[in-house]
Structure 1
Amino acid sequence: MSDAVRTSVPAAAAIRAPSVGGVAVHVRGLRRVFGPRAVLDGLELTIGRGEFVALLGASGSGKTTLLRILGALDGADAGEVLVPEARTIVFQEPRLVPSKRVLANVTIALPRGQAERGRRALSEVGLEGHADAWPATLSGGEAQRVALARALVREPELLLLDEPFAALDALTRLRMQDLVGELCRNHRPAVLLVTHDVDEAVRLADRICVLRDGQLVTDEPVAVDRPRDPGDPAFAALRRRLLTDLGVHPPGTAPGPDHPTSPAPLV
């Protein structure tokens, strides 16, 4: 990455910069302080173009803070952050505008005359017949699919997902995971998924990071063949390692010297 596009991050917002080479996101020495506590303290992270990274961490570890800084919804106190100009966020709640129909919600950030583009996006998420529906008539899974269509219709280079399936029932969550995986393979944005679900991270990601004490204590490629089955020994072994890094020790394992003896909440 060229030094010409590197600059310090002001407290106001993350720096916007075009992707350089094969890198979509570059974070170096990132620090964010709330009161006496540094939630992010010298964090380093790189995400390649088209790479899907999952971020795990206990409650209050700074996962969403990092995502908000990358999405320019929060500022940093120190460090360098390079992100693409074209980036979108999908939150846990769909955040649809209730007074606009589904198609208008999908195209809300686009110039006028983009209805056909919005219809194609709805078709991709399996909602081509819902263009004229009102948000109040949608199920939770349908509303979240509209939110995904709204994010992807802008053709982002970086897609930020903040626990987007947490409010869904188990079956709908699995279907949404499959859909997101397929959409990301088709569109190839860089992806950062913040999640508390270890199985979800292993199922979807190319790489998994664990955030603890303001830094990434784990940054590991997912070497599990697709489609990924939780019964695969490689899947189960990676799950056990990640749980240990999170301070949660599966039955039959003992806590190491660097981990707490009681489980940490994963929310």
Structure 2
Amino acid sequence: MTTPHTTTTRPDTVSPLAVSITGLRKAFGEKVILDGVDLTIRRGEFVVLLGPSGTGKTTLLRLLTGLEQPDAGEVLVPPARTSVYQEPRLVPSKRVLANVTIGQRRSRATREAGLRALAEVQLAGKARQWPATLSGGEAQRAALARALVREPDLLLLDEPFAALDALTRLRMQDLVGDLVARHRPAVLMVTHDVDEAVRLADRVLVLDRGRFAVDQAIDLPRPRDRTDPAALRHRSAFLAQLGVDRPHTDNPGSTS
């Protein structure tokens, strides 16, 4: 077995890569979760990760954040990286603006950056409110502002829309797509929703049995029409790979 090695490298203006993973292996006890994974993500690229539950999607995110260490292989990531989870994880005792700028040095510049981030996620009038007064979609937008105010080179999204109702989910997808296009971080998002993947991704990965079974570019114009024949072909192929081989309907749902 090779020696475990994780490196955090500062952003290099010459290199187009934000993430470089080589020979990644991770096991918990006797169970191997990731086995010889190789992955690169370019700066500004939106990559979506699909896969059945228990295949290691969240483990891969935790390795990229540094919360887990690999058993073998190399993980190169920028130091400026932030995460948004399924739950907003706002601090109830802090107002919305304080949540957005939490952990940063208190200054006029920090406050102004936080207010700009709130305006970007359409929460300009919510800075002084308490988290308990926000709707689910508003709370998740505040969590997104907290991630983006740090100007990350790598944004990690772990099923960030899963707890939202269908309409709010679509609006959040549009918002995230617009913000990523504007800020241009590298993005890795985990989801169980195939339609969401086709709608947002530049590339879709399907994780199966510890390795990527699919690494597919989605070269479709934006905004994307889910009824477009090319989008439907991608959708059908991903569903088949996930073992959910079913015909498209007028109201496609998510897979989980």
Which TM bucket (shorter chain)?
over 0.9
Match of 1:162 in 2: 158
Aligned residue identity for 1:145? R
Match of 1:90 among 76, 84, 105: 84
Q: How does 1:205-224 map to 2 (within 5 A)?
A: 205-224=201-220
Contact 1:8/1:81 (<8 A) preserved: no
Q: How does 1:134-153 map to 2 (within 5 A)?
A: 134-153=130-149
Match of 2:11 in 1: 19
Match of 2:111 in 1: 115
Give the SS at the match of 2:125. Answer: helix
Structure 1 spans left out of the alignment, 5+ residues? 1-6, 253-264
1:183-217: CA deviation from partner (whole Å, max 9, x where unpaired): 00000000000000000011001110000000001
Q: CA deviation at 1:9?
A: 3.9
Q: How does 1:253-264 map to 2 (within 5 A)?
A: none
1:193-250: CA deviation from partner (whole Å, max 9, x where unpaired): 0000000011001110000000001001102221111110000000011111112212
Q: Does 1:232 align with 2:228?
A: yes
Q: How does 1:192-203 map to 2 (within 5 A)?
A: 192-203=188-199
1: CA distance, partners of 2:3 / 2:16: 21
Give the SS at the match of 2:91. Answer: coil
Root-mean-square deviation (CA), in Å?
1.5
Q: How does 1:114-133 map to 2 (within 5 A)?
A: 114-133=110-129
Q: CA deviation at 1:34?
A: 1.2
Give the SS at the match of 1:193. Answer: strand
2: CA distance, partners of 1:188 / 1:137: 31
Contact 1:58/1:266 (<8 A) preserved: no
Q: CA deviation at 1:266?
A: 5.1
2: CA distance, partners of 1:68 / 1:266: 23
1: CA distance, partners of 2:188 / 2:3: 22
Match of 1:259 in 2: none
Contact 2:236/2:247 (<8 A) preserved: no
Q: How does 1:235-250 map to 2 (within 5 A)?
A: 235-250=231-246
Contact 2:3/2:71 (<8 A) preserved: no
1:42-66: CA deviation from partner (whole Å, max 9, x where unpaired): 0111000110000000000100000
1: CA distance, partners of 2:11 / 2:42: 9
The total of aligned residue pairs comes to 246
1: CA distance, partners of 2:3 / 2:135: 43
1:70-126: CA deviation from partner (whole Å, max 9, x where unpaired): 011111111110000000000000000000000000000211111111000000000
Give the TM-score of the pair, scaled to structure 2.
0.93
Give runs of ≥4 in structure 1 deviating > 6 Å: none
Give the TM-score of the pair, scaled to structure 1.
0.89
Give the SS at the match of 2:113. Answer: helix
2: CA distance, partners of 1:60 / 1:236: 26
Contact 2:194/2:255 (<8 A) preserved: no
Aligned residue identity for 2:132? A
Give the SS at the match of 1:128. Answer: coil
Structure 2 spans left out of the alignment, 5+ residues? 249-253
Q: Does 1:31 align with 2:25?
A: yes
Q: CA deviation at 1:8?
A: 5.8
